[in-house]
Amino acid sequence: MADIASTAIGTGLTCWVHTAKRRRYIRSLGDNLTALETKMDELGHIYEDVDRLVGRAEGEGWIRTGHAAGWLERVEALQKEAKKTVAEGKQMIGRSSLCGLGFSNCSARYEQSKLAEEKKADIETVLAQGCNFHDKDKVAYEPVDLILTRSLGALSRKKDELQDVFETVKERVEREENRNSVRTPEVRGWLERVKLLLDKEVGEILEQGGLEMEKVCQGVVEDSQSQRNCTSISRSAEEKRAILGGLLGERRGFTELTCKPDDPLMVEITLEPPVGMNSMFEEVWNWVEDESVRCIGIFGMGGVGKTTLLNKVPNQFLQVSHDYNFALRVVLSRPVNLEKLQKAIWEKLNLPEDEWDPSDKESTTSAILKSMKDKNFLLFMDDLWDAIDLLIDLGIPCHDHQNKCKIIFTTRSMEVCNRMKADKRKKVECLPPNDALQLFRQKLGEKTWIAHPGIPEITDTLVHECKYLPLALVTVARAMAGTTDLEDWMNAEKYLKRQVSKFTDMEEEVLKKLEFSYNCLPNEIHKRCFLYLSIFPEDHEIYEDDAIVLWIGEGFLDECDDVHEARTYGSEVFRKLRHACLVEFVRQSALHGETVKMHDLVREMCLWVYLEHGSKKKKVLVQEEVESFRMEGLKKWKDAERISLWLDYLDNLERICRRALPFPALKEIKVQKCPKLKELPLNCDSAKNSLKVIEGEQEWLEGLKWDDPASMQVFSTKFVSCSNVMFF
């Protein structure tokens, strides 16, 4: 019995396991029908979208594709089947269960539930296919006759657009040609190409397309040959339309339609044969030929020949072959007038005059940049006082320019070269003596040179007094040209030695031009420090550290918090003076640091400015000559504000004069080494209200003698010992 029971139970369990799947389908009939209905709704929305897309395409003359048509048919059939499955399944669910213990007709429920699941899977497959039909060209295709119609229409519209532009350009060119201008090569070629396309090539395509469309409309030809003809003509029409669009783009890129027939790229600048510049020009020209060098700065003191060197470059370009297609030379002002400079560039580029708008700097700069981008250009800027941002301020590309470019400028400041990021810098120095004499003779004229045998000898002195500065050499030579009387030459020699500013044209042509460098110094502190250097005699080497000590003593650097900061600021002043070519480096000294000196004509300018452009001749006295201590020389001391005694050669001098002199304006007196000088021409009534400083070595100051204790008491408070300073 036990075995029978065990067998029965095992058999029952096996049957239960094998019927589990069927039981799941039977129980899940309701769920499967609900899932099927959900998918049917989703499919219905997709079907409506695709059917609407197909309808819209067919409304435009397109033809539905076989894939889209087949999908729609499958969806319609599947929807009917799914609806039937759902209806039958719901009927089965409505039937009562068997005695309340289970479902009636379990086999039918099983089959219906399984069918619902299969229909749901079919719908999911169709849904995935339907998602691909999201664009018009996925559900329909454009017939060749419609494509041809569209292509011909687009070509015709583009033709009309180009025709209007062509007529406008042609009319403007002809109008400007009536004003003696000529059309540029680019415009001439563009007009020829457009005329050929509009009159011949485009017309032929439109004519062929029209004939083919007539055949299609008449139904004369409906075979594959007609299809191929339509396709070929459509393709040609699209290609020509693209070409017409390109020509319209070319027109928008024209910066000029015409140009003056006598407007060459560069014109020769009239120059007399430059003297002493061959080696400098050869170096600069090598940089010009080096395409990796984009920006060249030529710097040096005023009147040294920077402009002459610059002008040789465009003249040399006229002698060689090159591929530059834009060149401009401008002389700048102080301060730089960016609007005027941009206007010159705009006009040279022949940009439309009616589009120039200086108030809209951004668009103006952009227009220049756009025009310059495809050019190989040369830009020569003479007398640049301040650095400018070529790209931002003017629209001129430089180091990042894709084509060839060369920007060459002159300036008096090495700092401008640095701020302009010049790839190469060339300092122009004064001429060597032989070249200076040759330049003087060239400007003087051979007739004057040989007028008297004594003239060449005096000329040597004049050249030396000009300190080999080309501007001064030219000014003096032109003043003496035609002067043949030897006495006049001797008087000129004396006059130039004594008072440079009063020599013919020297003030206007030399000193005022050199003064520009002084005027460009950053602030009044720099200017006062520079003018103070006039107390040093000609050709004297100045130790920077010593001069800074004197500046501190004068109170020029009082804005600094301490002596260390003042010395640092003083060094910065000297750096600015060197960069402005107002002083030049001589050598480095281990004891006194850097040594500088002023060119004699720069010093003359310095004195001239300090003396209020020569109106107060005796404001500063730098005494070096014995004659200065004679009575006639001493008379001019009374008006002096600063007296500087450089008496190295008078080391036995004990007194300047026998009696004290009045000094109503004297502020300072300095004495260089003169150990036996024991008396100064001062008493308690002279300069007591104005004198601030008596400078000298400590030992010398302690040995001074005074007429009375009162004088000693007054002036002892003015002593400034500079024992560690070499020059006083």
On whether the CB atoms of residues 725 and 700 are closer than 8 A, the answer is: no
Residue 31, classed as helix, strand or coil, is helix
Residue 548 lies in a domain: yes
With bands split at pLDDT 50, 70 and 90, how would you rate the model's confidence at 623?
low
With bands split at pLDDT 50, 70 and 90, how would you rate the model's confidence at 121?
confident
With bands split at pLDDT 50, 70 and 90, how would you rate the model's confidence at 203?
confident
pLDDT at 578: 83
Cβ-count burial of 573 within 10 angstroms (0-12 exposed, 13-18 middle, 19+ buried)?
Answer: buried
Residue 608 lies in a domain: no
Q: What DSSP state is assigned to residue 655?
A: B
| 297 in the same domain as 170 | no
Q: Is the pTM of this model over 0.85?
A: no
With bands split at pLDDT 50, 70 and 90, how would you rate the model's confidence at 298?
very high
pLDDT at 216: 67
Q: Which residues pair with 424 in a beta bridge?
A: 296
What is the mean predicted confidence (pLDDT) over 25-54? 82
The 3 state secondary structure assigned to 88-126 is HHHHHHHCCCECCCECCCHHHHHHHHHHHHHHHHHHHHH
Question: CA separation (Å) from 543 to 411, 557, 578?
Answer: 26, 18, 13
Domain end call among 399, 427, 455: 427
Residue 5 lies in a domain: no
| 597 in the same domain as 528 | yes
| 337 in the same domain as 224 | no
pLDDT tens column, 93-108: 776 444 433 455 677 7
What is the mean predicted confidence (pLDDT) over 86-90? 81
Q: Supply angle C-alpha 384, 388, 391, rounded to 5.
A: 130
For the chain, what percent of residues have pLDDT higher than 90? Answer: 2
Q: Is the pLDDT of residue 18 over 80?
A: no
Domain end call among 226, 259, 292: 259
| 153 in the same domain as 22 | no
| 40 in the same domain as 133 | yes
What is the mean predicted confidence (pLDDT) over 214-241? 71
| 578 in the same domain as 638 | no
| 158 in the same domain as 134 | no
With bands split at pLDDT 50, 70 and 90, how would you rate the model's confidence at 4?
low
Number of structural domains found in the chain: 5
185 vs 338, more confident: 338
What is the mean predicted confidence (pLDDT) over 344-357? 81
pLDDT at 424: 92
Residue 125 lies in a domain: yes
Closest CA to 726 of 555, 545, 596: 545
**Boundaries of domain holding 325:** 277-427
Rg (Cα) of the chain, in Å, rounded? 50
Q: What DSSP state is assigned to residue 61?
A: T
Q: How many CB atoms lie within 10 A of CB 11?
A: 10
pLDDT at 96: 43
| CB proximity list for 74: less than 8 A, separation 6 or greater | 126
Q: Is the pLDDT of residue 297 over 90?
A: yes
pLDDT at 629: 52
Domain end call among 427, 462, 481: 427
Q: Is the pLDDT of residue 6 over 60?
A: no
pLDDT tens column, 321-337: 777 878 888 888 667 78
Residue 579, classed as helix, strand or coil, is helix
Among the residue ranges 4-8, 254-258, 530-534, 721-725, the one predicted with the least confidence is 721-725
pLDDT at 54: 81
How far the first Cα of the chain sits from its last, in Å, is 142
Per this entry, what is the length of the chain?
Answer: 728
| 130 in the same domain as 41 | yes
CA distance 399 to 407: 10
614 vs 297, more confident: 297
| CB proximity list for 515: less than 8 A, separation 6 or greater | 605, 608, 609
For the chain, what percent of residues have pLDDT higher than 70? Answer: 75
CA distance 633 to 636: 6
Q: What DSSP state is assigned to residue 401?
A: -
Q: Is the pLDDT of residue 370 over 90?
A: no
Residue 711 lies in a domain: yes
pLDDT tens column, 624-667: 554 445 545 555 666 666 676 665 555 666 666 666 666 666 76
pLDDT tens column, 130-182: 788 877 777 776 676 677 777 788 888 888 888 888 888 888 888 876 665 77
Side chain identity at residue 269, one-letter code: I
Residue 609 lies in a domain: no
CA distance 622 to 607: 10
Structure tokens at 538: 């000609």
| 594 in the same domain as 685 | no
What is the mean predicted confidence (pLDDT) over 56-85? 81
Residue 1 lies in a domain: no
Q: Supply angle C-alpha 83, 86, 90, rounded to 5.
A: 140
Structure tokens at 480: 């003496």
| 629 in the same domain as 593 | no
On whether the CB atoms of residues 311 and 453 are closer than 8 A, the answer is: no
On whether the CB atoms of residues 550 and 532 are closer than 8 A, the answer is: yes
Q: What DSSP state is assigned to residue 352?
A: -
| 244 in the same domain as 350 | no
Among the residue ranges 203-207, 360-364, 582-586, 720-724, the one predicted with the least confidence is 720-724
pLDDT tens column, 239-289: 888 888 888 888 877 777 877 655 566 677 767 777 878 888 899 999 988
Q: Helical H runs in 593-635?
A: 600-610, 631-634
pLDDT at 183: 77
pLDDT at 221: 47
pLDDT at 451: 83
On whether the CB atoms of residues 51 and 135 are closer than 8 A, the answer is: no
With bands split at pLDDT 50, 70 and 90, how would you rate the model's confidence at 409?
very high
CA distance 521 to 305: 21
679 vs 384, more confident: 384
On whether the CB atoms of residues 662 and 686 are closer than 8 A, the answer is: yes
| CB proximity list for 643: less than 8 A, separation 6 or greater | 621, 623, 637, 666, 668, 669, 670
| 135 in the same domain as 153 | no
pLDDT tens column, 474-531: 888 887 888 888 888 888 787 777 767 667 667 776 777 777 778 778 888 888 888 8
CATH classification at residue 328: 3.40.50.300
Closest CA to 128 of 39, 27, 200, 10: 39
On whether the CB atoms of residues 295 and 254 are closer than 8 A, the answer is: no
With bands split at pLDDT 50, 70 and 90, how would you rate the model's confidence at 115?
confident
pLDDT at 347: 82
On whether the CB atoms of residues 129 and 212 are closer than 8 A, the answer is: no
Average pLDDT, the chain: 77
Residue 251 lies in a domain: yes
